[in-house]
A = this chain, B = another copy of it.
Amino acid sequence: MKKVTINSVASYAGVSKKTVSRVLNNEPNVSDATREKVLKVFKELDYTPNPIARGLAQNRSFIIGCLYDNPSKSYITRVQTGALAACHELNYNLLIHPCELRGEELISNIEQLIQTSRLDGIVLTPPFSDFPELVSFLKSKKIPYARVASAVLEDDSISVRSNDEQGAFEITEHLIKLGHKEIAFIKGHPDHSATEQRFKGYRRALASNGIEFDERLVEEGNFSYHSGVDSARTILDLNPRPTAVFASNDYMAAAVLKLATQMQLRVPDDISIAGFDNAPIARHIWPGLTTIAQPVEEMTQQAVKQLITHIGDPQESPYQVTLEAKLITRESTAAIK
């Protein structure tokens, strides 16, 4: 199996390699006859251009970096799926880079990543999407970036999100419509902007239904299953016990469910439980969790597509979209008895 390079194609087709390059890149100023001749040789020789050589010549790597620091494996894989779909479509590669938001030297870690791997752009997923130090660092270094699920929509950056506040509003209202008035809330990790958004939605639903907000019903979690257990312990020991619990994600909701079950409480008869994210666990436990589904793959795919487009054509103005989140009702919530 001999190597097929642009030179072999050129000599085989009887044209210069520059012309071959033109055909490769769909450049104008190639006659139809020549173009077809070259395309035929591509097929005959089964030619695939070498992205490394191309990268060297154009000073690009065709690699997008994807940053995440997220306890949810399913969220991560969904992000990856969306990012890969976009990369695949546009002939880019994806470099995944898990790292810690609060780890030491985050910025220099990222800087080194960019230096050594020569990334063409970066996708920021929560909690990085709204981390000001990182965003302004990328901006100052003029590294193209896109933000997934960020709360703040800046004017000048690519950002694709779904409406966390609205989702939280809807699920809270769902509980209220079922007759619940004492609805406990477990917050997420303070570094994630979604935490604040979901809390806002919860409060707005209470307010718009004339239910007074009760601070004692709010617990601080951090999105981890473990933090859910701690919060659940406090909430379930309250007297009177709330009739419903809305946890900011499904892992914490699963923890509430576990503890409730251990305490011989029947869900949803004795207490309703709602989560957020529609993680696999939401349907792997019994009863299944009522939750909010976000289009994570779709968000990431759009963000990466925009990012790559922007890299290829920087004056293209960045765009910002908000996608819909959707209420999914399962067995863990029911009308109050």
A interface residues with partner B (beta carbon < 8 Å)? 1, 48, 50-53, 55-56, 61, 63, 73-74, 76-77, 80-81, 84, 91, 93-96, 98, 115-118, 141, 225, 251, 254-255, 257-259, 261-262, 280-281, 283-286
- The answer to whether A258 and B280 have CB atoms under 8 Å apart is no
- The answer to whether A53 and B56 have CB atoms under 8 Å apart is yes
- The answer to whether A98 and B81 have CB atoms under 8 Å apart is yes
Instruction: Quote the shortest CB–CB distance from A144 to chain B (angstroms).
Output: 16
Q: 26 interchain pairs (CB within 8 A)?
A: A1-B141, A48-B115, A50-B56, A51-B117, A52-B118, A56-B56, A73-B73, A73-B74, A77-B77, A80-B96, A80-B98, A84-B96, A84-B98, A93-B93, A93-B95, A94-B96, A96-B96, A251-B284, A254-B284, A254-B285, A257-B286, A258-B284, A258-B285, A259-B286, A284-B285, A285-B285
Return the chain B residue nearest A78 by Cβ.
Answer: B73
The count of identical subunits is 2
**Complex Cα spacing A25 to B32, Å:** 47
Which among B50, B55, B95, B281 is the interface contact of A94 at CB below 8 angstroms? B95
**Complex Cα spacing A255 to B50, Å:** 48
List of B residues within 8 angstroms of A283 by Cβ? 225
**Complex Cα spacing A115 to B96, Å:** 21
Which among B73, B91, B286 is the interface contact of A258 at CB below 8 angstroms? B286
- The answer to whether A280 and B118 have CB atoms under 8 Å apart is no
**Complex Cα spacing A80 to B97, Å:** 10
List of B residues within 8 angstroms of A93 by Cβ? 63, 93, 95, 117
List of B residues within 8 angstroms of A77 by Cβ? 73, 76-77
**Complex Cα spacing A115 to B251, Å:** 41
**Complex Cα spacing A285 to B255, Å:** 8
**Complex Cα spacing A302 to B51, Å:** 29
List of B residues within 8 angstroms of A281 by Cβ? 281, 284
**Complex Cα spacing A255 to B283, Å:** 10
List of B residues within 8 angstroms of A80 by Cβ? 96, 98
List of B residues within 8 angstroms of A225 by Cβ? 280, 283-284
Other 14 A-B pairs with CB < 8 A, given A225-B284, A259-B286, A285-B285: A48-B116, A50-B56, A52-B52, A73-B74, A73-B77, A76-B77, A91-B116, A93-B93, A94-B95, A96-B96, A254-B284, A255-B284, A258-B285, A261-B286
